[in-house]
Amino acid sequence: MIFSNICDIICNVNIVIVIRVGSETHSFALVMTFLERNDEMAGKKVTDTVFDLASPIALAHGCFVDDVEFKKEGADYVLRVIIDVDDSAQGGVSIDQCENVSRALSDILDQTDPIAQAYMLEVSSPGIDRELKREKDFVRFMGREVDIKLYKAIDGAKLLSGKLIAYSPDAVTIETDGGETTVALSDAASVRLAVIW
């Protein structure tokens, strides 16, 4: 059977929705029916599509979408939507915000159906050790302590820690007790805010 503007397969999938805020994790199951689509969404990255769908939902609940990831982890695909609040907000992202965004987003995903395969939807806060990925992240957290995990060791170390003092599209510079160190972003597996206890 052929449908106009969409493909021909109707599937039932189990979606496990995971809510994480800090160390607390909440989950619930959702059974949804979707159509495998073959329209304009097929040419758009899943993460971009979900970012566009989730952004107005997040704003309606007093937060914003910081990042979207879609990748295979083990045997499952995970759609991870990371939400955040402005620095002026007290207490960071709440569990209620994660739950409200997750429920509303799952309804929109059910309607628009941008993802063909079964997946787990996870809505979470960035966490205290958030990863810095984009220019706006580095600008926002300039002057903060960061941990840089390296692909290959520099002077015997694969983890560098220091105050973030400079950023360019190609490199970051941190200040340590031994002076300034500049690391090419191509050499960094990740740059995260340091957890200071």
**pLDDT for position 29:** 45
**pLDDT for position 155:** 84
Q: Extract the residue ranges of the chain whose pLDDT is less than 50.
A: 1-15, 28-43
**pLDDT for position 116:** 87
Domains of the chain from N-terminus onward:
10-124 (3.30.300.70), 135-193 (2.30.30.180)
**pLDDT for position 120:** 94
**pLDDT for position 44:** 62
**pLDDT for position 20:** 61
Q: In terms of pTM, does the model score above 0.75?
A: no
Nearest CA-CA partner of 131 in 122, 119, 140, 123: 140
DSSP E strands: which ranges in the chain?
10-21, 24-35, 64-73, 76-84, 120-124, 145-154, 157-167, 171-176, 179-184, 188-193
**pLDDT for position 18:** 57
Q: 188 forms bridges with which residues in the sheet?
A: 150
CA-to-CA distance for 14 and 97, rounded, in angstroms?
Answer: 23
**pLDDT for position 34:** 37
